[in-house]
Amino acid sequence: MSASRRPYATLAALLLLVLTGCSTQAPAPPEPRGAPGPQSMPASARPKAPRPAEIPALGPRTRAAIPATARQAVVVTGKARDSNRSTAVLYARDDLAKGWKAAAGPWPAHNGLEGWTDFHVAGDLKSPVGVYTLSDAGGRLPDPGARLPYDEHPRFALSGEGFFGESLEGSFDYVVAIDYNRTPGVTPLDRERPLGENRGGGIWLHVDHGGPTQGCVSLPEARMKDLLRALDPAKKPVIVMGDAKTLRR
């Protein structure tokens, strides 16, 4: 090579070194045409997001009956169709993506003397199976801090004996009306029965007196106070109630 062309050759070599850097590795081969990238990966091959948690021991029919707007649910599960003993758990759904989780309980409870029914009628001594809203509360004693509208009234006073001779006094010191055959938004003492008098009414959550009820669900007094303080009308609370076998449907 002539002396006059050497500076140009040297300059070209320097430019090549700057452009390629100091790497001695061979350049990566181009991806084959049509190779799938992260966005073009088939949906079946992508990792699936976890499903929101469901309330345990409830079947598809029962879950479908819970309104989509509900974010609190009191689940009362009877031991058997003809049993008057049950268990109550308060569930909450604050994070819709994560689903339901237990917020309080389990608590011992009583229900109707003759157990549970899908078609409650007045005087059958059974608790109605189903999902019902919870919108109003009250009691003989002053409001313990309820979030639901609370009606303190002396008409909640009760006396007499239960089915097994236990005292009924104080049973209605705290109550939450279950919206079965009643008009939501009024005191639990309201007597209107939209389905007719023959379908019964006055189905409440109330203080346990140590024995079965005529159709209500009863909880220990301390648990009723806890429930009154927890149930939030903004969370559209409901009660899911029935025997275990029926609730699994």
Give the pLDDT confidence of 105-159 residue by residue, as tens digits: 999 999 999 999 999 999 999 999 999 999 999 999 999 999 999 999 999 999 9
Does the annotation count 216 as an active-site position? yes
- Of 110, 120, 209, 216, the catalytic one is 216
Least confident of 41-45, 58-62, 82-86: 41-45
DSSP string, 36-92: --TTTS-GGGSPPPPPPBPPTT--HHHHHHS-TT--EEEEEEESSTT-SEEEEEEEE
Measured CA to CA in angstroms, residue 132 lies from 52, 129, 169, 175, 182 at distances of 22, 9, 27, 15, 11
What are the extents of the domains in the chain? 72-247
Does the annotation count 153 as an active-site position? no
pLDDT of residue 4: 45
- Of 110, 120, 206, 209, the catalytic one is 206
Q: What is the pTM of this model?
A: 0.80
Class of the CATH-defined domain 72-247: mainly beta
Note the pLDDT tens digit of each residue in 126-139: 999 999 999 999 99
